């Protein structure tokens, strides 16, 4: 059995689809379906079973046996960077992850979990080192705390544990993420509806739309997850991005080219966001490459075109 938490979410469902593409269907998907329409992300996937997140957590904390487990891919978390309820965030992202880690270790099962580039926050260096970890919000700090929890146990692990610091992930299964969907998805929706893509004005030393991020296709993230889930690479925390930053203007132009219409307008930042905004991210891939992941990454223009085409297919 393979366990994927956050299995109805954007990245979790993409991983399940990736496992299916490799002929794997004995998958337990774990999620919270209070937003019931998320099931559509798994409508085209094959599963062994589904379990509610709270039920899953109760079972792993009670010593319940799921039988033989190949690996756990822990994607379940609150990823809303604008969520300010620290109690809620730490319970969902930190305490829950500690429970999953304890269970994986007790079963001697490889664990690959989702961390985030938000752990770097105010830093201008994106290397997996403590001096670069400066989160700007409770989301980034909750993820960093779990990274530190894992690092403190590296010498006593009974099975491999890998944290992947996701940079700006985009893809076609984002329809239920709302305001937390990638800018690629949001720009696509805006352009289709109105013919206009709206992005933020300049900030810091960056001109309007020239802020730069490391945009990584979810197809590449699936490959990275499934590379590490084999348990053949060293345990650790690794960046999961392309290693190449691109501007928001680049993204807008790629979306317009993929749709065949549109223009760009610039808008002011919402109150309070400008001071906490990451103007630049770019993954350092030294650690990832040393850990044995050698695959090339999808270029932004190709990835955006593929995403737009898949969105059309899924909505047809």
**Residue 165, CA atoms < 13 Å, CB-side half-sphere:** 34
What is the enclosing helix (H) or strand (E) of 55? Answer: helix 53-62
- Are 78 and 202 found together in one domain? no
- Are 229 and 100 found together in one domain? yes
Give me the domain span that covers residue 195: 178-212+245-279+304-315
Under 8 Å CB-to-CB from 19, ≥6 apart: which residues?
2, 4, 25, 27, 226
Q: What domain count does the chain have?
A: 2
First to last CA, the chain: 32
For 62-74, letters b (16+ CB in 10 Å) and e give: eeeebeebbbbbb
- Are 117 and 196 found together in one domain? no
- Are 157 and 22 found together in one domain? yes
- State pLDDT tens for residues 253-292: 999 999 999 999 999 998 777 777 888 999 999 999 999 9
> What average pLDDT does range 310-315 have in this prediction?
85
- Are 52 and 155 found together in one domain? yes
**In the structure, what pLDDT confidence band is assigned to residue 83 with cuts at 50, 70 and 90?**
confident
- State pLDDT tens for residues 134-175: 998 999 999 999 999 999 999 999 999 999 999 999 999 998
- Are 117 and 149 found together in one domain? yes
- State pLDDT tens for residues 105-130: 999 999 999 999 999 999 999 999 99
Q: 139 an active-site residue?
A: yes
Structure token digits, residue 211: 């802020």
The reply to whether 87 falls in a domain is yes
- State pLDDT tens for residues 31-71: 999 888 899 999 999 999 999 999 999 999 999 999 999 99
pLDDT at 82 over 80: no
Model pTM score: 0.95
The reply to whether 173 falls in a domain is no
The reply to whether 171 falls in a domain is no
Find the catalytic residue in 177, 244, 274, 312: 177
* pLDDT value at residue 189: 94
* pLDDT value at residue 179: 78
The candidate with the shortest Cα–Cα distance to 297, out of 222, 196, 209, 235, is: 222
Spatial separation of the C-alpha atoms in residues 79 and 139, rounded to whole Å: 7
* pLDDT value at residue 315: 76
DSSP annotation string for 140-184:
HHHHHHHHHHHHTTGGG-SS-EEEEEE-EEE-S--TT-GGGS-HH
- Are 143 and 187 found together in one domain? no
What is the enclosing helix (H) or strand (E) of 51? Answer: strand 49-52
- Are 188 and 145 found together in one domain? no
Find the catalytic residue in 96, 139, 170, 185: 139
- Are 76 and 126 found together in one domain? yes
CATH number for the domain spanning 309: value is 3.90.25.10
- Are 59 and 183 found together in one domain? no
């Amino acid at each position: 059995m393979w366990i994927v938490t956050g299995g109805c979410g954007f990245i979790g469902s993409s991983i399940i689809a990736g496992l299916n593409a490799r002929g794997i269907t004995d998958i337990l998907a774990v999620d919270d379906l209070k937003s019931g329409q998320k099931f559509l992300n798994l409508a085209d996937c094959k599963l062994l079973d589904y379990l509610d997140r709270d039920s899953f957590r109760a079972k792993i904390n009670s010593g319940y046996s799921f039988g033989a487990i190949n690996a756990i891919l822990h994607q379940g978390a609150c990823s809303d960077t604008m969520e300010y309820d620290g109690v809620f965030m730490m319970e969902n992202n930190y305490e829950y992850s500690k429970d999953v880690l304890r269970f994986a270790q007790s079963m001697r099962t490889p664990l690959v979990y989702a961390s985030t580039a938000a752990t770097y926050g105010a830093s201008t260096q994106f290397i997996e080192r403590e001096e670069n970890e400066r989160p700007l919000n409770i989301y980034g700090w909750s993820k960093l705390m779990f990274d530190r929890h894992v690092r403190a146990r590296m010498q006593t692990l009974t099975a491999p544990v890998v944290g992947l610091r996701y940079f700006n992930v985009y893809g076609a299964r984002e329809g239920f993420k709302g305001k937390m969907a990638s800018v690629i998805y949001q720009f696509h929706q805006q352009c289709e509806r109105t013919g206009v893509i709206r992005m933020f004005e300049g900030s810091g030393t960056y001109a309007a739309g020239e802020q730069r991020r490391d945009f990584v296709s979810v197809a590449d993230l699936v490959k990275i997850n499934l590379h590490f889930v084999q348990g053949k690479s060293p345990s650790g925390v690794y960046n999961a991005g392309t290693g190449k930053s691109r501007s928001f203007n680049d993204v807008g132009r790629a979306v317009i080219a993929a749709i065949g219409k549109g223009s760009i307008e610039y808008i002011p930042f919402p109150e309070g966001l400008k001071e906490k905004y990451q103007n630049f991210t770019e993954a350092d891939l030294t650690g990832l490459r040393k850990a044995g992941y050698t695959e090339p990454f999808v270029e932004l223009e190709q990835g955006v075109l593929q995403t737009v085409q898949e969105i059309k297919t899924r909505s047809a």
